[in-house]
Amino acid sequence: MNNPIPARLAALRAAMQQHGVAAVLVPSADPHLSEYLPEHWQARAWLSGFTGSAGTLIVSREHAGLWTDSRYFSQAEQQLAGSGVTLMKLRVPHAAEHLEWLQQHLHHGDVLAAAGDSLALTTQRQIERRLADSGASLRTDLDLSGAIWADRPALPQAPVVAHDPAYVSITRAEKFSRLRKAMHKLGATHHLLSSLDDIAWLTNLRGSDVECNPVFLAHLLVQADSRATLFVNRAKLSDALVAALAADGIGIADYASVTSSLQELGAADRLLLDSGRVVSSIAAAIAPAVNRIEAANPSTAFKAIKNAAELDHIREVMRRDGAALVRGFRRLEQRLAAGMTLTELDVDTLLYEERSAQPGYVGESFATIAGYQANGALPHYRATPESHSTLQARGLLLIDSGGQYLGGTTDITRVLALGETTPEQRRDATLVMKGMIALSRARFPKGASGPQLDALARAPLWASGMDYGHGTGHGVGYFLNVHEGPHSIRAPVSGGALVALEPGMISSIEPGLYKPGRHGIRHENLVVVVEAEQTEFGEFHAFETLTLCPFDRRALEPSLLNPEERAWLDDYHAGVRAALSPLLDDADLEWLHRHCAPL
Are 300 and 314 members of one domain? no
The secondary element (H helix, E strand) that includes residue 291 is strand 291-294
Q: Residue 355, SS3?
A: helix
Show the domain range for 516: 308-591
In a domain, 537, yes or no: yes
- What Cα–Cα distance (Å) separates residue 225 from each residue in 173, 199, 258? 12, 18, 19
Q: How do 86-89 and 64-68 pair as beta strands?
A: parallel
Q: What are the respective helix, strand and coil percentages of the chain, to the nearest 5?
A: 40, 25, 40
Sign, CA dihedral 156-388-474-350, equals positive
What does the pLDDT read at residue 229?
A: 98
In a domain, 599, yes or no: no
Read off the CATH number of the domain in which 123 is found.
3.40.350.10
Q: Residue 597, SS3?
A: coil
Measured from the Cβ of residue 309, the count of other Cβ atoms closer than 10 Å reads 13
Planar angle of CA 168, 172, 176, nearest 5 degrees: 135
Confidence band of 92 (pLDDT split at 50, 70, 90): confident
Ranges of beta strands (E only) in 378-524 are 396-401, 403-405, 408-409, 412-417, 443-445, 473-475, 484-489, 506-509, 512-515, 519-522
Are 276 and 321 members of one domain? no
Are 510 and 580 members of one domain? yes
Are 536 and 467 members of one domain? yes
Does residue 1 surpass a pLDDT of 70?
Answer: no
The one-character DSSP state at 387 is B
The secondary element (H helix, E strand) that includes residue 26 is strand 23-26
Are 178 and 83 members of one domain? no
Number of domains composing the chain: 3
Read off the CATH number of the domain in which 451 is found.
3.90.230.10
Q: Tell me how far apart the alpha carbons of residues 217 and 207 are, in angstroms, rounded to a whole number.
A: 8
The secondary element (H helix, E strand) that includes residue 302 is helix 298-304
Are 276 and 332 members of one domain? no
Tens digits of residue pLDDT in 541-556: 999 999 999 999 999 9
Least Cα distance to 190 among 286, 106, 125 occurs for 286
- Mean pLDDT of the residues in the chain: 96
Domain boundary among 98, 116, 148: 148
Q: Residue 217, SS3?
A: coil
What does the pLDDT read at residue 383?
A: 82
Confidence band of 495 (pLDDT split at 50, 70, 90): confident
One-letter amino acid identity for 186?
A: L
What does the pLDDT read at residue 69?
A: 87
CB 320 within 8 A of CB 405: yes
CB 373 within 8 A of CB 395: yes
Does residue 165 surpass a pLDDT of 70?
Answer: yes
Are 85 and 230 members of one domain? no
- What lies within 8 Å, CB to CB, of 369 at 6+ separation is 380, 381, 382, 398, 399, 400, 401, 413
Tens digits of residue pLDDT in 37-75: 999 999 999 999 999 888 999 999 999 999 998 888 888
Measured from the Cβ of residue 494, the count of other Cβ atoms closer than 10 Å reads 4
What does the pLDDT read at residue 543?
A: 98
What average pLDDT score do residues 186-213 get? Answer: 97
Are 295 and 341 members of one domain? no
Are 284 and 172 members of one domain? yes
Are 293 and 313 members of one domain? no
Tens digits of residue pLDDT in 111-149: 999 999 999 999 999 999 999 988 999 999 999 999 999
Q: Tell me how far apart the alpha carbons of residues 506 and 478 are, in angstroms, rounded to a whole number.
A: 9
Confidence band of 507 (pLDDT split at 50, 70, 90): very high
CB 324 within 8 A of CB 354: yes
What does the pLDDT read at residue 297?
A: 97
What does the pLDDT read at residue 93?
A: 83
Are 173 and 320 members of one domain? no
Q: Percent of the chain at pLDDT above 70?
A: 100
Are 90 and 167 members of one domain? no
Tens digits of residue pLDDT in 231-246: 999 999 999 999 999 9
Confidence band of 386 (pLDDT split at 50, 70, 90): confident
Choice among 79-83, 378-382, 398-402 with the minimum mean pLDDT: 378-382
